[in-house]
Amino acid sequence: MDGKREMLRHSVATLAYRAAKVLRDAPPEFAAYRVNETTRAPAAILAHLGDLLDWALSMAEGHSEWHDAEVLGWDEGAERFFAAVGRFDEFLASDQPLGVAEEQLFQGPVADALTHVGQIAMLRRMAGAPIRGENYFVAAIETGRVGAEQEPARREFD
């Protein structure tokens, strides 16, 4: 596997690590929290995250397909997201050729997903259910570990 593909896989593992942190232990009412009537609720953002990873896989496979999925409950939405991350990483780990460049996969769906994970983190703070800050430089992020179960934070702060 070349360095670009391996770096993309590490980026996907980073996405999964950060997403696991913001999705874990959210209070039940958080899924529907809205800053105002023009913003998406966290559950809708979570559905969009799953859509982004499904789209990433379709592009990696050589055919770009976008689908707006139904907004699910928080736990079901998280399961869908991590399943999509897993399928994308599994393809990246294979010897199948990519349908588009690694850079495009990162600059489009992966970077967008990272942005939305940050958005959920911000909304958690606004909703009174903040996550603790973390020094991600020392985080135990491992290529291929893309599920909801992640290593505990090594260095958190308030």
**Per the domain annotation, does 32 fall within a domain?**
no
Number of structural domains (the chain) is 1
12 occurs within a structural domain: yes
Looking at the predicted structure, is the pLDDT value of residue 99 above 80?
yes
Q: Is residue 88 part of a domain?
A: yes
141: in domain: yes
In the predicted structure, residue 98 carries a pLDDT above the cut 80: yes
pLDDT tens digits, one per residue of 123-139: 999 999 999 999 999 99
Residue 20 pLDDT greater than 70, yes or no: yes
Q: Is 33 inside a domain boundary?
A: no
Residue 75, pLDDT > 90, answer yes
pTM for this model (two decimals): 0.96
Q: What is the pLDDT of residue 1?
A: 64
104 lies in which domain range? 3-27+39-157
Res. 94: pLDDT tops 70: yes
DSSP string, 61-116: TT------PPP--HHHHHHHHHHHHHHHHHHHHSSPPPSS-HHHHIIIIIHHHHHH
Give a yes or no: residue 34 inside a domain.
no
